[in-house]
Amino acid sequence: MFKLRSLVTALALVGSISVASALETLPTVAPAPADNPTTQEKVELGKLLYHDPRLSSTGTVSCSSCHNTMLGGEDNRANSMGVHGQTGGRSAPTVWNSAFNTVQFWDGRAPSLEAQAAGPVTSPIEMGMKSWDDVIARLKTIEGYQVAFEEAFGKDSITKDNATKAIASYERTLITPHSPYDKYAAGDTSALTAQQVRGLHKVQELGCTSCHSGPAFNGPGVFQPFPIHSNPVFAAKYHFKDDKGLAEVTKKADDEHLWKVPTLRNIALTAPYFHNGSVKTLDEAVVVMAKTQLDKDLSTTEVADIVAFLNALTGQFPKQSMPVLPTTPGRTFN
């Protein structure tokens, strides 16, 4: 599944063909799995759980702490902060449009949003709960959650499986369509500036869209090696290879430095960049990607054109109202 060397080569060869491919707009509705059809009740419950810091051991960290829907869907930190001020080794990926990812997490270890939602809660450096049994026991004592779970799933339904299904259902509503690029792709040739059009043509010409393909610019669901081309200056400055990517999960040498292809949607809002958050600006990220993945040195004008195009991928964010969380009058968990 993860042996993609030949696929990477094939994609590179057909990169120029993508120039002529049809431009795709971002869907306004995300597909849901058969065992978790989206309902408004699930979405509302998931929204509560997503924003509730009581799902963490200290009562201080929620999903939204690292994946902020008031911003670009992450926290603009190189390394996100969990319970007791601990930080991990990776930068939080955006939650916006994550419904269109084939796999979740930088290393792609989760096959679905439901599986992803289960992980951080019991991570000792993220939300720090000892087990999901402890989470469920806590939720069962909160009357408001008893009501919300019953409305979404029926009686006696407060379970890990249903909690993660609800969070995933909420996350599937976090879509940002109608960017200038989408309007251009739909036929409005005035939606992009001349510079942005040059940038679009340049990313196609270079072959960037052989990996960052599809309506979400996140690829066809395969992993890609990063970095491909060694560069001693970048290696010393950014330490990209300190983290082995997928191999950290599989423990297989063939999987070293394989990563999920991240979306380019709203990328102008999600600095710093790359899995370790080591690159602070979008201009610099474009230079690094061109050199490490394509072995290309770009001119200042080419970089500016590409950055202008990437800014055109910022979509319209659905209005978010903060939920009123279920209360626990007269008591606390911490």
pLDDT, one tens digit per residue, over 226-268 is 999 989 999 999 999 999 999 999 999 999 999 999 999 999 9
Per-residue pLDDT, 222: 81
- Rounded to the nearest integer, the mean pLDDT of the chain is 93
Q: What is the CATH number of domain 5-28+176-311?
A: 1.10.760.10
Q: List pLDDT tens digits, range 10-40.
A: 333 333 333 334 799 999 999 999 999 999 9
Percent share of the chain, pLDDT over 90: 91
Q: What distance in Å separates the CA atoms of residue 151 and residue 39, rounded to the nearest whole number?
A: 10
Contact 248, 310 (CB under 8 A): no
Question: What band does 220 get if pLDDT is binned at 50, 70 and 90?
Answer: confident
How far, in Å, CA of 313 to CA of 72, rounded?
A: 12
Other CB atoms within 10 A of residue 21 CB: 11
pLDDT digit string, tens, across residues 105-122: 999 999 999 999 999 999
In the chain, residues under CATH classification 1.10.760.10 are 5-28+176-311, 40-171
Name the pTM for this structure: 0.92
Q: What pLDDT, on a 0 to 100 scale, did the predictor assign at position 86?
A: 97
- Reported confidence tier of residue 1, pLDDT bands at 50, 70, 90: very low
Q: Which residues pair with 279 in a beta bridge?
A: 273
Which sign, positive or negative, has the C-alpha torsion 276, 280, 286, 287? negative
User: Are the C-beta atoms of 206 and 290 separated by less than 8 Å?
Assistant: yes
Q: What is the CA radius of gyration of the chain?
A: 21
Q: Using alpha carbons, select from 130, 154, 115 the residue that is nearest to residue 55.
A: 130
Paired tokens of 120: 């951080």
The label of the residue with tokens 């040498």 reads 253
Catalytic residue among 126, 171, 256, 302: 126
Looking at CATH, the fold of the domain delimited by 40-171 is given as Cytochrome Bc1 Complex; Chain D, domain 2 (1.10.760)
Give the pLDDT of residue 333: 86
Least confident of 128-142, 207-221, 279-293: 207-221
* 151 has catalytic annotation: no
Task: Give the residue among 129, 198, 127, 166 at the shortest CA–CA distance from 40.
Answer: 166
Which tokens in the block code for residue 2? Answer: 């993860």
User: CA-to-CA distance for 199 and 302, rounded, in angstroms?
Assistant: 7
Q: Which residues have CB under 8 Å from 189's CB, separation 6+?
A: none
